[in-house]
Structures are given as structure tokens and as C-alpha cells.
Structure 1
Amino acid sequence: MYIIRNTPTNLGVILVTVLWILLVVVAVLVLYVWRTYNTMVRSRNLVDEGWSGIDVQLKRRSDLVVNLVETVKGYAKHERELFEKVTQARAAAVSAGSVGERAQAENALTGTIRSLFAVAENYPELKANTNFLDLQKNLGELEAEIQMARRYYNGTVRAFNSLIQVFPNNMLAGPFGFTSREYFEAAEEDRAVPRVQF
């Protein structure tokens, strides 16, 4: 029977082997952290880009609302209360802070715009005005662009939130300052299925 003795040479080989294994494990962990961090940064940047797209469209709509109110004012002078509501809703939307507050304010603005168009139905001269018709058409196109921007933003938020919430990424997200982002939600009436009556 052959007995292996711990000679200085055998201990040195074992020690070097253990050090190499530890070095490889540490290198793999560092590469994982580096890759995960960079993926989270890229995903966060996509969320910010998506929000910027929504913000641009909402600012365009806000500017369009001012022109729309001025056009309707010329025909419906006694609808002052409605004009004030639209102006207040626009101001609230522009000054809203978080994504949730902005979504709520924009949904309120959408409701007042609908009221403005409902009032316009009572004024045939206004409905025939080319400036009003152009503004109405532009607003409709802009709403479609806002909806596309909202879809893109919410998709990037979903991907980002999933990335930072899954294990083991969630162990890195907190220490690096990555937190979940809010969705930009549509108004309840926009999500509801329209009723058809015959």
C-alpha cells in the first residue's frame, strides 16, 4: 500500500490549485456583476427614452389645446367655465411631477377636451371652421402618437422592472440604486370596451 505524505511540494500544488479556483470564481462573479449592471443601465436608458417620447407628444398636445381653446372661444363665448376647466387641466398636466401624477392629469385633460368637443357640436359655424377642423384632426393624430409612445414606454418599463426584480438581479439592483418604474396608465374610459346599442 502506498501512502501519500503531505510534502511541501504537494501542499504547494494544492494551495495553487485552490487559489486558481478562487480566482476563477471571483472573476466569474465580477463579470456577472459587470454584465448585469450594464444591462440594467441600458434598460433604464430605454425607459428614459420612452418617457421622453411621451413627454414630447404631451407637450405638443398641450400646445394644440391652447389653440383649440382660442378657436372655440371665438364661437362659444358663454362657455367660460369649460374654458377655465380646460386651462386648469392643462396647467395641472404640465406641472405634474411623477409618472402616475402626470398620467392622472393627462387623463383629466383628455376628459375636458372631450367636453370641449361636445360643446362644439352645438355650434354649426364652429364645426365648419377649417381651423377648428384642422386642430381636431391634428389632435386625433396626436392622440394616436401618444398611444404608440405610451405602449413603447410601458413595454420598456415592463422589461426593466422584470430585469431588476428577478433573482439574482434583485440582489444587485438595490445596492446600485435601480428601482421599479411606474407605468403610464390610460384613463378608465379609454380602457373600457365601448357599448354598442341598436
Structure 2
Amino acid sequence: MKRSTVVWLVVGALVIILIMSAVSSYNGLVSKENAVDNKSAQIDTQLQRREDVIPNLVSTVKGYAAHEKEVFQAIADARTKLSGAGTTAEKSEANAELEGALSRLLVVVENYPTLKADAQFTKLMDELSGTENRIAVARQDYNNSVTEYNTKIRKFPAALFASMFGFEKKDMFKAAPGAETVPEVNF
């Protein structure tokens, strides 16, 4: 074989390796981004599930504690804000507000022993508790997926293709500032 033929074969092999690396990196980025989007949708599904349970819970409590209108309004406002949230940060903030309003509702419930014994209320509380656990798991899965994706777009050689094709860093689902403190409720 001629020397020029060998050089062309080596160059051709290198080009094929580079193309396959690019395709593999791009496809890996697409897969990771889709996984993040899927996990985000799972959080949305669980937040919607909770949003569907809350009106029934509020209605049940209203029958016992009709004069606690401020708490009911706070829940309604927080649900509206969560429904209109678009970004992960907005969802996190609205979710924290809703959790705070729900905790105030639970304080109200403590003042009504017959309500705690109500079968419908107990069933709704169990459903809400299960939903809260599902939301926590969905958030954790989302944050794990975001971590994998964000790591992938920063590693070489995928980082080259990520910047070339517009793959951008995703935000983690974080609690709103102050969410770690228990709300104070005064009646």
C-alpha cells in the first residue's frame, strides 16, 4: 500500500471516530434533558394531585370551622399561585406557600376534636399525606436527574456539543427561602 493511502485511511478513521463521538454525545445530552423534563412533569402531576385533594379537605374543615376564613383564603391564594407557576423557581416558591397554608389549616384542625374523628377528614388527610410523600420522591428524582444532566453538559467532550447545540443548565427544585421555619399561627 502506498503511504498516502495509509494516511488517508488514518484520517478517515479519525473523522469517523469524531463524528461518532459527536453523535453519541449529542444523543446522550438529549436523553438526559428528556429525563429532566420527564421528572419535572412527574412533580407537576403530584402537585396537581395534591391540588385536587385540597378543596375536598378544605370543604370538610369548613363545615366545622366556618369562621377560619383567613386560613381558607391563604390556601386558595397559594393554590392559584401554584397553578400559574411556570418555572421551577416559581413552582418551588408557590409550593412553599401552599405548604405553609396547609400547616396553618392543620393547626385549625387541632381546635376541633370531632373533625379529627370524621371519617372523610381522616381519609382526605391520609390521601394528602400520601401525596406529600409522592411529591417529595418526585422532587428528589427530579433533582437527581438535573444533577446528572448538569454534570453531563459540563464534562468534556459533551460540553463542546452542549454549548454548540444550546443545552443549558437546569435549575434544581428548591424550597423557598424561609420554608425551613415552621409558620407561626395566631388566632
Pairwise same-fold verdict (TM > 0.5): yes
Match of 1:48 among 27, 33, 37: 37
Task: Quote how far apart the aligned CAs of 1:41 are.
Answer: 1.1
Larger Rg: 1
1:68 aligns with 2:57: yes
Matched residue SS, 1:77: coil
Match of 1:154 among 143, 159, 168: 143
- Give, as a single letter, the amino acid of the residue that structure 2 aligns with 1:106: N
Task: Quote how far apart the aligned CAs of 1:13 are.
Answer: 2.4
Match of 2:117 among 128, 144, 149: 128
Superimposed CA distance per residue, residues 148-169 of structure 1 (whole angstroms, 9 cap, x where no aligned partner) = 1111111111101100111221
Question: What is the aligned partner in structure 2 of residue 82 from structure 1?
Answer: 71
Task: Quote how far apart the aligned CAs of 1:188 are.
Answer: 6.1
- Give, as a single letter, the amino acid of the residue that structure 2 aligns with 1:154: N
State the aligned residue count.
Answer: 181
Alpha-carbon distance between aligned partners in 2 of 1:191 and 1:42, rounded to the nearest angstrom = 34
Structure 1 consecutive aligned stretches of length 4 or more whose deviation exceeds 4 Å:
187-192
Superimposed CA distance per residue, residues 52-88 of structure 1 (whole angstroms, 9 cap, x where no aligned partner) = 2111111000011111111111111111111111000
Query: Which blocks of at least 5 consecutive residues in structure 2 are unaligned?
Result: 182-187
Alpha-carbon distance between aligned partners in 1 of 2:7 and 2:97, rounded to the nearest angstrom = 65
Percent identical pairs in the alignment equals 37
Normalised TM-score (structure 1): 0.86
Alpha-carbon distance between aligned partners in 2 of 1:69 and 1:110, rounded to the nearest angstrom = 14
Match of 2:158 among 154, 169, 179: 169
Question: What is the aligned partner in structure 1 of residue 13 from structure 2?
Answer: 24
Task: Quote how far apart the aligned CAs of 1:14 are.
Answer: 3.0
RMSD of Structure 2 on Structure 1 (CA)? 1.7
Superimposed CA distance per residue, residues 7-60 of structure 1 (whole angstroms, 9 cap, x where no aligned partner) = xxxxx9232222222111111100000111111111111111211211111100
